[in-house]
Amino acid sequence: MKSKLSLCCKGIVWLAMFGVLLPLIVLLIWCFTERWAWPELVPQVFSLRGLREVLGSQALMILHSSILLSATAALIAVVVGLMTARAIVFYQFPGQKLLLFASMLPLIVPTTVFGMGIHLLLIRVGLSDTVPGVILVHVICALPYTVSIMTDSTRAIGKKLEEQARVLGAGSLRAFWSVSMPALMPAIFSALAMAYITSFSQYFLTLLIGGGNVRTFTVIMVPYLQNGDRTLAAGYTTLFLLITVLVFLVFRKIVQRFYPCLEQNRE
Amino acid sequence: MELQQLVPELEIRDLIVSMHKKEILHKINLTVYKGEMISLLGPSGCGKSTLLKTVAGLLEAQGGDVCIEGSSVLNMPTEKRGAVIVFQDLRLFPNLSVEGNIEFSLRLKGISRSQREQRVRELLEIVKLPGMQKRKINELSGGQMQRVALARALAAQPRLLLLDEPFSSLDEQLREQMRSFVQELHQRTQTTIVMVTHDREEALSMSDRIALMIDGQIVQVDVPEKIYRRPINKRVSDYFGGCSYLSGQVRNGVFYHPALQMPVSGYADGDWVVRILPGMVHLCEDGNWKVTKVCYQGESSLVTLQREDSILTARVMEPPGVGKMCGVRVDAEELLLLKQEPCVHTK
């Protein structure tokens, strides 16, 4: 009975992995395919046209600034999320629940509605068509994820360890940095990853707020996806995925460099 | 142990602490002397841990004052007060090794690495965990974690060491060992210790003095023997339990009860309750007290006797059988009269 259950569980895991990997494999094949008509299982014509066009396009030229913009937005979103989480978990003040609800609004309010509204505001304050304006909008979109992740983890960790550090002679900031931060690192990493991907994949808001002056990888990529060329679309998508995975690995390395206990605790 | 010339280390004056608009501590007054080990004893929820946290600076006071070595600390941040708490759940830092935990306060002071290593080695010797610097916290047993927590607290060189129910999560055998260990540590380091406990035996056996807290107030502060044998009122007596009460009247210097009459001095005429400890009651052959219960407790037994509405408890080596009729003799010199309250029999 146990072995049947184990076999069933393994089967489900393999099925799930297959469900995730199969589309990626198909995507990779399309990068080198010129023609693959239904219902053929194997492409009829292979070529390197897609790769040549992607690697030679202007999308690569703005890659580093795109990554920098999204990384900045992710970092700000995590810092704001962490501070909001600490306020919600450790303090009592009027409007606390409203604050928590408000942090989720970017998920509830349709992007176009939000975009139109904030565009007007940013025009008034002179942040429209600027990089800071785009970063601000990306931060707002990422906040629901960072606030909810950091609130849950802050609540789980509590402030007991910080209290202990305080009585041992650490100031409040030192206590947080020395004992709470290491415990929060896995959650910070998750929040950073979610915020980064939210920012990096933003198209409509970047186009609207950036006004064409702020060009990110996604803004350059989407028109190519929309022109119906599957080879090009696959190439850009694969590049998008690769960049995202690389950035995640860099984040992880940075975290491990300062907090080696992250890996030890997993063991 | 000797109190160092009765120099006050901690003075709490009219301290009031409220939480969620409810007053938890009501005008607490307490003086702890340098080198003393004092227990804050009381039932769960009476405010003992709240008092400890307020002294350490983790909670704000709404009134009164807390002075350490003569200076008020109420406006001083937690990290500067020199009052280190060892919490019930120990709160060892999981991301640091044993060495990292112990040297935490030393690093804050900017002490050099070699000195920190030396001090950690010394402290591990004191707490009888030599060579365990590199061990991870999750590899330690309960007793070992307790000792690392104590070593970490001592490394901070506290003016006051505050122990918040340090042994409640340990099994009986380990608790005995740790009690002896803490007493030994106290004698060796002469640190002023305030220990919160709800365990009466623990407080009686370990402390220089006991401060009994009930419902957010300190009811009596005294040496263990006095607080046990001469409770200031029936509430204190009830907390220690294990005694019997006989309700009667004092008239012209004599206490009258159907089963007991004895001369008393210093008590006004009126209704009084006499408190009788089990050790004061001796059984005789003939009498009209009926044995209703015998509770075996190892070396001795607790025998419950009843006569009409009166109940007495006696501690005897060789208990009679249940249902037997006995006579009773009480050591009158040790008896204590308390003000009349509903007659209760406590276990």
**How much helix, strand and coil, in percent to the nearest 5, is found in chain A?**
80, 0, 20
Residues sharing a CB contact under 8 Å with residue B131, sequence separation 6 or more, in sequence order = B124
Q: Which pLDDT does position A256 carry in this prediction?
A: 77
Q: What is the pLDDT of residues A111-152, one digit of tens each?
A: 899 999 999 999 999 999 999 999 999 999 999 999 999 999
Angstroms from B95 CA to nearest CA on chain A: 6
Domain boundaries, position A221: 49-266
Please state, in angstroms and rounded to a whole number, the distance separating the CA atoms of residues B253 and B2. Answer: 40
> Are the beta carbons of B105 and A169 separated by less than 8 Å?
yes
On whether any CB of chain A is under 8 Å from the CB of B56, the answer is yes
Find the CB nearest B91 among A160, A174, A182.
A160
Q: Which pLDDT does position A262 carry in this prediction?
A: 52
- Which residue in chain A is spatially nearest to B157 when comparing CA positions? A168
Q: What is the band of B98 on the pLDDT scale with cuts at 50, 70, 90?
A: very high
Q: What is the pLDDT of residues B208-249, one digit of tens each?
A: 999 999 999 999 999 999 998 888 888 888 888 778 888 888
Angstroms from B154 CA to nearest CA on chain A: 10
Q: How many angstroms separate the Cα of B264 from the Cα of each of A183, B165, B234? A: 65, 40, 18
Q: List CB contacts (< 8 A) between B105 and chain A.
A: 168-169
Q: List CB contacts (< 8 A) between B78 and chain A.
A: 166-167
Find the CB nearest B78 among A161, A166, A261.
A166
| Closest-CA residue to A213 (of A87, A16, A65, A73) | A65
Q: How many angstroms separate the Cα of A121 from the Cα of each of A28, A131, A209, A214, B224? A: 42, 15, 10, 18, 72
Q: What is the pLDDT of residues B7-20, one digit of tens each?
A: 899 999 999 999 88
> Are the beta carbons of B93 and A164 separated by less than 8 Å?
yes
Q: Is A32 within a domain?
A: no
Find the CB nearest B79 among A170, A183, A265.
A170
Q: Check residue A67 and report its DSSP letter.
A: H
Phi-psi region for residue B47, left (φ > 0), alpha (ψ -120 to 50) or beta? left
Angstroms from B163 CA to nearest CA on chain A: 12
Please give the radius of gyration of chain B, using alpha carbons only, rounded to the nearest integer: 24
> Are the beta carbons of A174 and B108 separated by less than 8 Å?
yes
Reply yes or no on whether the pLDDT at A267 is more than 50: no
| Closest-CA residue to B47 (of B28, B73, B70) | B28
Q: List CB contacts (< 8 A) between B160 and chain A.
A: none
Q: Is A43 within a domain?
A: no
Please state, in angstroms and rounded to a whole number, the distance separating the CA atoms of residues A35 and A37. Answer: 6
Q: List CB contacts (< 8 A) between A183 and chain B.
A: 94-95
- Which residue in chain A is spatially nearest to B103 when comparing CA positions? A168
Task: Please give the average per-residue pLDDT across A148-174, as a whole number.
Answer: 94
Cβ atoms within 10 Å of A189's Cβ, excluding its own = 20
Number of domains in chain A: 1
CATH of the domain at A202: 1.10.3720.10
Q: Is A1 within a domain?
A: no
Phi-psi region for residue B110, left (φ > 0), alpha (ψ -120 to 50) or beta? left
Q: List CB contacts (< 8 A) between B80 and chain A.
A: 169
On whether any CB of chain A is under 8 Å from the CB of B261, the answer is no
Residues sharing a CB contact under 8 Å with residue B301, sequence separation 6 or more, in sequence order = B294, B295, B315, B316, B317, B319
Phi, psi of B330 (to 5 degrees): -115, 135
Are A90 and A157 in contact, with CB atoms under 8 Å apart? no
Q: Is A22 within a domain?
A: no
Q: What is the DSSP string of B54-93?
A: HHHTSS--SEEEEEETTEE-TTS-GGGS-EEEE-TT----
Please state, in angstroms and rounded to a whole number, the distance separating the CA atoms of residues A72 and A57. Answer: 25
Please state, in angstroms and rounded to a whole number, the distance separating the CA atoms of residues B170 and B199. Answer: 13
* B266: three-class secondary structure by DSSP: coil
pTM for this model (two decimals): 0.79
Q: List CB contacts (< 8 A) between A174 and chain B.
A: 108
| Closest-CA residue to B303 (of B258, B343, B244) | B244
Find the CB nearest B79 among A161, A169, A265.
A169
- Say what the ipTM of the complex is: 0.82
Q: Is A103 within a domain?
A: yes
Are B46 and B72 in contact, with CB atoms under 8 Å apart? no
Min mean pLDDT across A257-266, B143-152, B263-272 is at A257-266
Q: What is the pLDDT of residues A226-250, one digit of tens each?
A: 777 888 888 888 888 888 888 888 8
Distance of CA A8 to the CA centre of its chain: 33
Q: List CB contacts (< 8 A) between A264 and chain B.
A: 136
* Disruptive mutation site among A91, A167, A172, A185 for chain B (greatest number of B CBs within 10 Å): A167
Q: Is A66 within a domain?
A: yes
Please state, in angstroms and rounded to a whole number, the distance separating the CA atoms of residues B289 and B244. Answer: 14
For the beta sheet containing B310-316, the strands, ordered from the edge strand earlier in sequence to the opposite edge, are B310-316, B301-307, B281-296, B325-330
- Which residue in chain B is spatially nearest to A263 when comparing CA positions? B95
Q: Is A82 within a domain?
A: yes
Reply yes or no on whether the pLDDT at A54 is more than 70: yes
Q: Is A10 within a domain?
A: no
